[in-house]
Amino acid sequence: MPTSPTLPDAELLVRTYLDGVAAVTGLLDVDAQGNEPIYTVTPKPAPTGRFVRLFRLGGPPRARRGIDTAVIQVEAYGGTKAQARELAAECSAALDDIEDGSHADGSVSGSSSSSFRYLPDSDLMTARNAARERYIATVDLTIRAART
């Protein structure tokens, strides 16, 4: 019986890709360990500077065909609304170009932005007890498993 190809983790693929995009990383506030703050989980405590958080919202993987259709939410946080918007816009623009190459675990054969909105995050409060400034972009990706 043939085995299905192993699909890459869409969140980690996007995280690794964004970490290599200078237009994105140049806007981030590097953490104390010198890492670019692009997360697939919310760190405790949450960063106080600019950072990106990624979530897979859905999309059905079709493992037998070696294809994943992932819906990824990109949350961009900034000290100001303008900083959050700029970071979200750069992430969205970078992900428009993600399909131009192969990645360690697979390749992206399709990418399209499906939404862009402002939504302050009241779960991550600032030192002044205000909601954190956040823009959210949603991107649909078609990811193919690496050929073996």
Round to whole Å and give the CA distance between 95 and 24: 11
pLDDT value of position 33: 72
Number of domains in the chain: 1
Q: Is residue 5 part of a domain?
A: no
**Cα-Cα end-to-end distance for the chain:** 17
Torsion of Cα atoms, 42 then 110 then 69 then 107, to 10°: -80
Judge whether 4 lies within some domain.
no
Q: What are phi and psi of 51, to 5 degrees?
A: -155, 170
**Is 91 inside a domain boundary?**
yes
For range 69-80, the mean pLDDT = 94
Domain holding 14, by residue range, is: 10-67+76-145
Q: Give domain status of residue 28, yes or no.
A: yes
Q: How confident is the model at residue 91 (pLDDT cuts 50, 70, 90)?
A: very high
- The average confidence (pLDDT) of the chain is 85
What angle do the packed helices 10-19 and 81-96 form, to 10 degrees?
Answer: 110
Q: Do 18 and 24 touch, CB atoms closer than 8 A? A: yes
Max avg pLDDT among 21-35, 70-84, 87-101: 70-84
Whether the predicted pLDDT of 72 surpasses 80? yes
Q: What is the pTM of this model?
A: 0.87
DSSP state of 49: S
d(CA 94, CA 89): 9
Half-sphere exposure of 77 (CA within 13 A, CB side): 22
| Residue 2 located in a structural domain | no
Tell me: the pLDDT tens digits for 36-69?
A: 799 999 888 888 889 999 999 998 767 667 888 9
Residue 126's pLDDT is what? 63
- Give the angle 67-70-73 at the CA atoms, nearest 5°: 165
Angle, vertex CA 38, rays to CA 33 and CA 40, nearest 5:
115
Instruction: Return the pLDDT at 106.
Output: 78
Average pLDDT over every residue of 82-101: 91
3, part of any domain: no
pLDDT tens digits, one per residue of 110-135 = 888 889 999 988 887 666 667 789 99
